[in-house]
Chain A
Amino acid sequence: MAEMWINMGPQHPMTHGLWNMRVKVDGETIVDSEPVIGYLHRGWEKMVENRTYPQIIPMADRLCYGSSFTWSHVYCMTVEKLMDIEVPERAKYIRAMSDELQRIGSHLMWLAAIGTDLGNLTVFLYATRDRELFLDLFTSLCGARMTYNYCRIGGVRNDAPENWVRDLERTLDYFEKRLKEYDMLIDKSKLFRMRMEGLGYMSAKDAINAGITGPVLRASGVKYDIRHNDPYEVYDELDWQMCTHDACDTWARYRVRMMEMQESVNIVRDILKKMPKSGPIRVKPPRAAPVGTAIARMEDPRGESLMYLVGDGTDKPYRLSVRSPLFVILSATPQLLKGSKIADVPSILGMLDVCMGETDR
Chain B
Amino acid sequence: MENVTYSVEQVRDKVSQAFPDVVFDDARMEARRLYMTADRSILFNLCKLLKDELGFCHCSLVSGVDRCDKFQTVYHITSYESNITLEIVVDLPHDEPVVDSVTPLWGGANWHERETYDMFGIIFKGHPNLKRLLLPEDYKFFPMRKDCSEGGL
- A: residues with CB less than 8 A from B are 37-38, 41, 43, 45-46, 50, 205, 208-213, 222, 224, 229-230, 293, 295, 297, 304, 306, 308, 310, 318-319, 321, 323, 327-328, 330-332, 360-361
Contact = CB atoms under 8 A, between A and B. Distances in A.
Interface string B64-107: 11100000001010001001010100000000000000000011
Nearest to B58: A208
A319 B65 contact: yes
Interface string B98-122: 0000000011111110010001000
B85 A209 contact: no
Interface string B1-36: 100000000000000000000000000000011000
B29 to A, nearest CB: 13
A107 to B, nearest CB: 23
29 contacts: A37-B134, A38-B134, A38-B135, A38-B136, A43-B143, A46-B144, A50-B150, A205-B1, A208-B57, A208-B58, A210-B107, A210-B108, A211-B58, A211-B106, A211-B108, A222-B80, A229-B83, A297-B60, A306-B61, A308-B61, A321-B63, A321-B64, A321-B65, A323-B112, A327-B111, A328-B112, A330-B111, A331-B108, A332-B108
B83 A230 contact: yes
B63 A211 contact: no
A145 B136 CA distance: 34
Nearest to B66: A319
A327 B107 CA distance: 13
B60 A304 contact: yes
B43 interface: no
Nearest to A35: B111
A184 B136 CA distance: 47
B133 interface: yes
A266 to B, nearest CB: 23
A212 B59 CA distance: 10
B110 A331 contact: yes
Contacts of A327: 111-112, 115
Interface of B: 1, 32-33, 57-61, 63-66, 74, 76, 80, 83, 85, 87, 106-112, 115, 119, 133-136, 143-144, 150
Contacts of A38: 133-136
Nearest to B136: A38
A230 B32 contact: yes
Nearest to B110: A331
A211 B107 contact: yes
B41 to A, nearest CB: 23
Contact of A209 (B63, B108, B115, B133): B108
Contacts of A328: 108, 111-112
